[in-house]
Amino acid sequence: MRIGVSKEVAPGERRVALVPESVKKLIQAGYDVSIEAGAGEAAGHPDAAYRDVGAAVEADSASVLGSADLVLKVGPPTAAEVSSMRQGAIYLGSLMPLRNPESARALAQGRITAFSTDAIPRTTRAQSMDTLSSMANIAGYKGVLLAAAELNKYFPMLMTAAGMVPPAKVFVIGAAVAGLQAIATAKRLGANVVATDVRPEVKEQIESVGGKYVGIELGEAASAGGGYAKELSEADKARQREMLAAQVAQSDVVITTALIGGVFAPRLITAEMVRSMRPGSIIVDLAADGGGNCELSRPGEAALVGGVTILAPLNLPATLPLHASLLFSRNLTAFVLAFTKDKAFQLDFNDDIQQGAVITHEGEVRHARTRDALQRGAS
């Protein structure tokens, strides 16, 4: 059975779906692996490194995709890439089907069986396959570094000959994987860190990485299960806005990471809240890929509003391509090896992981929420 890895073509994408370490493991498990020439260069892996572990390096994407039984990618395939895949092939990668429903439609029309790693159930067994968590961890880390580089003051408290410099005040909104990493990184840099989440059960997690929890008493539960949050009631939203406004106004840095269902960003920081911040303050909107948590964010750009800098970076994991590729590759490899039998990948939709992650199969969109999104778009 042949695994194919093509070069990522999305603007700014520097990751690769498989690194040589993983290629070696997959070949030992009985797979043939082909890599498009140059696919790993931006992540620090030249073609020679793939040849050294036994992979075939092909000159172009069409050759790799057309001969692959199992296509491994970082992001959703383009229409041209789908047309290069053979019917009955299997796609595995971070499809984000609710953001990219047309990619799901193209895969279904091409009769490709597509698994999206960001739809994998958040269970103990599936942790090693969860690209969403791996990449969120990187985003949380890098987001704090961006804030520290832009802020007009130190993060840590310093005792100097000229007197004491107080620590920066950092407010993190959302305490899933990205938020917890942001809290931990800001704390390591010496900042005074407070954090909030609509799920009060994460209070202990916030405190375990050095943050102080702030929150409101909710009228109804805000957990959607699987580590995700759901939308709040109108009454709870109003009370949350009051709390956010108070915290934002006194913060030097605000880092937002809130996503509903791990996909869509609720608007939490209003223009009025931004204008309440001191000049020189920083907002880093890590939910920009999902539309942004800040009303004034411009995804992919930096904005300056009343002296407040709003950063809304897209695809932060691609800015750390070596480690991002390593973790992503290990996630995909864990998925493949978990379902490998007799040197081939076995489909098993009775398995909870495959059942949760499958998006398309035999010409149909199997993922209910993606199917609903496509039907809404057609109506």
Decide which of 285, 301, 318 is a domain's last residue.
318
Q: Flag whether 220 is in a domain.
A: yes
Same structural domain, 297 and 326: no
Q: Flag whether 237 is in a domain.
A: yes
Q: Range with the lowest mean pLDDT among 78-87, 342-351, 364-373?
A: 364-373
Question: What is the structure's pLDDT at 88?
Answer: 95
State percent of the chain over pLDDT 90.
85
Same structural domain, 122 and 262: no
Decide which of 318, 341, 364 is a domain's last residue.
318
Question: What is the structure's pLDDT at 374?
Answer: 87
3, 68 in Cβ contact below 8 A? yes
Same structural domain, 273 and 200: yes
CB atoms within 10 A of CB 255: 30
Range of the domain at 313: 138-318
Report how many domains make up the chain.
2
Whole-angstrom CA distances from 294 to 16, 256, 315 are 31, 8, 17
Same structural domain, 181 and 264: yes
Same structural domain, 162 and 115: no
Stated pTM of the model: 0.92
Q: Which residues lie closer than 8 Å to 338 by C-beta, 6 or more apart?
A: 129, 353
User: How large is the average pLDDT for residues 94-111?
Assistant: 94
Question: What is the structure's pLDDT at 378?
Answer: 66
User: How large is the average pLDDT for residues 277-281?
Assistant: 97
The per-residue pLDDT for range 334-348, each reduced to its tens digit, is: 999 999 999 999 999
Question: What is the structure's pLDDT at 199?
Answer: 83
State percent of the chain over pLDDT 70.
95
The helix/strand count (H/E) of the chain reads as 13, 21
The per-residue pLDDT for range 221-261, each reduced to its tens digit, is: 545 455 555 566 777 778 888 999 999 999 999 999 998 87
Same structural domain, 32 and 21: yes
Same structural domain, 159 and 193: yes
Same structural domain, 180 and 47: no
The per-residue pLDDT for range 30-49, each reduced to its tens digit, is: 999 999 999 999 999 999 99
Same structural domain, 276 and 160: yes
The per-residue pLDDT for range 137-157, each reduced to its tens digit, is: 999 999 999 999 999 999 999
pLDDT-based confidence at residue 210 (cuts at 50, 70, 90): very high
pLDDT over 80 (residue 218):
no
Q: Flag whether 60 is in a domain.
A: yes
Q: Which residues are catalytic?
A: 122, 127, 130, 133, 228
Decide which of 302, 318, 334 is a domain's last residue.
318
Same structural domain, 175 and 78: no
Question: What is the structure's pLDDT at 376?
Answer: 82
CATH number, domain of 298, equals 3.40.50.720
Same structural domain, 234 and 251: yes
Q: What is the distance between the alpha carbons of residues 363 and 200, in angstroms, rounded to a whole number?
A: 42
pLDDT-based confidence at residue 95 (cuts at 50, 70, 90): very high
Q: Flag whether 92 is in a domain.
A: yes
The per-residue pLDDT for range 289-321, each reduced to its tens digit, is: 999 999 999 999 999 999 999 999 999 999 999
The per-residue pLDDT for range 181-193, each reduced to its tens digit, is: 999 999 999 999 9
Same structural domain, 126 and 165: no
Q: What are phi and psi of 28, to 5 degrees?
A: -65, -25
Q: Flag whether 378 is in a domain.
A: no
Question: What is the structure's pLDDT at 68?
Answer: 97
CB atoms within 10 A of CB 342: 7
Tokens in use for 95? 């499809």
Whole-angstrom CA distances from 38 to 23, 31, 45, 126, 178 are 15, 21, 8, 31, 30
Q: Flag whether 209 is in a domain.
A: yes
Q: Flag whether 379 is in a domain.
A: no
